[in-house]
Amino acid sequence: MSTESSPRILISRMSAIGDTILTMPVACALRQHFPNAFLAWVVEKKAAPMIRKHPAMDRVIELERGWFTSPRGIRSARHLLREHRFDVSIDCQGLTKSALAGWLSGAAQRIGYAGKHGGELSRVLNNTLVKPVFSHLTDRSLELLIPLGVTAPKVKWRMPIHETARNWSLRWRRTIDAPRLAVLNPGATAHSKMWEPDRFGLTARYLGDRYGYRSIVVWGNSGERAMAEQIVAHSQGTATIAPDTDLHHLAALIAVSDLFISGDTGPLHMAVAVGTPTIGLYGSTRPGDSGPYGQIALQKAYESGSRRHRRKADNTAMRQIHVRHVCEAIDQIERKRQLLAEAA
């Protein structure tokens, strides 16, 4: 397929928020290689805000969660997808639902994973299978572009931040009387991904005492708000609770910050995409598969077992990461920052 051609390409990555962000380089690589292409992304509505205004996309097709579990949902999806007359679909998720979207679209070429990443019925529904060499979600997603002649593209994110959110974050940053700002994110979708609030609090104290940081603790629900309050209580005045934000304002807030520390969650990958130095804390997932791309990931133990087991496990593996490990990572980032400043 030549770079001058105008293919109609569908990216299929339904969920979750973090994995959707990690797939953004696929859209960027396709736009760079096929500047005249029509590019669309089919996604479930919860993750859709991340890509609605992505500059590489011509269309975002949003489906309800569970759309593929009823004949009515499947018919509706088929109608939405068929009207765009796709030539190619790229299944970046490797599940039945993501492959089914490509099949329903009518695309003649349906690219997906061979091997263990081609799960459920995806290897049946897709007809051009790629066995990835790399394990990280971003790298192996980009390998799906090889059949289209796109090889070794540069990883770009082009994370969209709404102008209103950006302006709000700049005004809000001016209210923080500190030279540097760190964002701490204690929440996660599973307890097995959570670090202890007292350890976040001690980390905030180290950041403030050693480097003059003010730490802001972000939260997304009442449970996470309670954790944020515990962190502030342990911080001895070096941390405060962030304002309530939606995903757009959270991205903007992270973008004006100097450091982000979190478990394996969507906001962690959001921080990477907006260019904020990041430290990821891992217990029940592996950074080799979904780590903060090009940034620091800490893992001292792994909660092995099935995905179901790991989601229901406690945070024993996360507790093997001690405050000193995170402080050492902070020192590494600050040394690099100092070297770059001296070289400028």
pLDDT of 4 reads 67
User: Does 276 lie in the same domain as 198?
Assistant: yes
User: Does 180 lie in the same domain as 119?
Assistant: no
pLDDT of 310 reads 87
User: Does 232 lie in the same domain as 110?
Assistant: no
**What strands lie across the sheet with 180-185, from one edge to the other?**
239-241, 213-217, 180-185, 259-263, 278-281, 296-298
Q: What is the mean pLDDT of residues 199-209?
A: 98
Distance CA 175, CA 22 (A): 32
User: Does 170 lie in the same domain as 140?
Assistant: no
Of 147-151, 234-238, 340-344, the one with minimum mean pLDDT is 340-344
Read off the CATH number of the domain in which 99 is found: 3.40.50.2000
User: Does 132 lie in the same domain as 34?
Assistant: yes
Position 1 pLDDT exceeds 70: no
pTM of the prediction?
0.94
User: Does 189 lie in the same domain as 334?
Assistant: yes
* 264 within domain boundaries: yes
Alpha-carbon distance values, 185 to 26, 148, 221, 264 (Å): 27, 38, 12, 10
User: Does 98 lie in the same domain as 61?
Assistant: yes
Q: Find out whether 277 and 258 touch, Cβ atoms under 8 Å.
A: yes
Q: What is the mean pLDDT of residues 58-80?
A: 97
pLDDT of 37 reads 97
User: Does 189 lie in the same domain as 105?
Assistant: no
* 1 within domain boundaries: no
Q: What is the mean pLDDT of residues 147-171?
A: 96
What percentage of the chain exceeds 90 in pLDDT? 94
Position 129 pLDDT exceeds 80: yes
User: Does 229 lie in the same domain as 142?
Assistant: no
* 211 within domain boundaries: yes
* 76 within domain boundaries: yes
Distance CA 279, CA 329 (A): 7
* Ramachandran angles phi, psi of 279, nearest 5°: -120, 120
Position 304 pLDDT exceeds 80: yes
Distance CA 313, CA 319 (A): 13
CB neighbour class for 75 (10 Å; exposed up to 12, middle 13-18, buried from 19)? exposed
Furthest CA-CA distance within the chain: 62
User: Does 232 lie in the same domain as 99?
Assistant: no
Q: What is the mean pLDDT of residues 46-59?
A: 95
Distance CA 18, CA 50 (A): 9
User: Does 179 lie in the same domain as 120?
Assistant: no
Q: How many CA atoms lie within 13 A of 27 on its CB side?
A: 29
Q: What's the domain count of the chain?
A: 2
pLDDT of 344 reads 79
Q: pLDDT tens digits for 13-42?
A: 999 999 999 999 999 999 999 999 999 999
- List residues bridging with 110 in a β-sheet: 89
CB neighbour class for 250 (10 Å; exposed up to 12, middle 13-18, buried from 19)? buried
User: Does 95 lie in the same domain as 199?
Assistant: no
What is the residue range of 189's domain? Answer: 163-343
pLDDT of 320 reads 97
pLDDT band (50, 70, 90) for residue 315: very high
Residue that terminates a domain, selected from 148, 183, 199: 148
Q: How many CA atoms lie within 13 A of 340 on its CB side?
A: 6
pLDDT of 305 reads 85
Q: What is the mean pLDDT of residues 33-59?
A: 96
pLDDT band (50, 70, 90) for residue 339: very high
* 168 within domain boundaries: yes
Q: What is the mean pLDDT of residues 223-227?
A: 95
Distance CA 192, CA 80 (A): 38
Structure tokens at 333: 């980032």
For β-strands 180-185 and 259-263, DSSP reports them as parallel
pLDDT of 5 reads 77
Q: Which of 254, 245, 296 is nearest to 275 (CA)?
A: 254
Residue that terminates a domain, selected from 118, 148, 178: 148
pLDDT of 186 reads 96
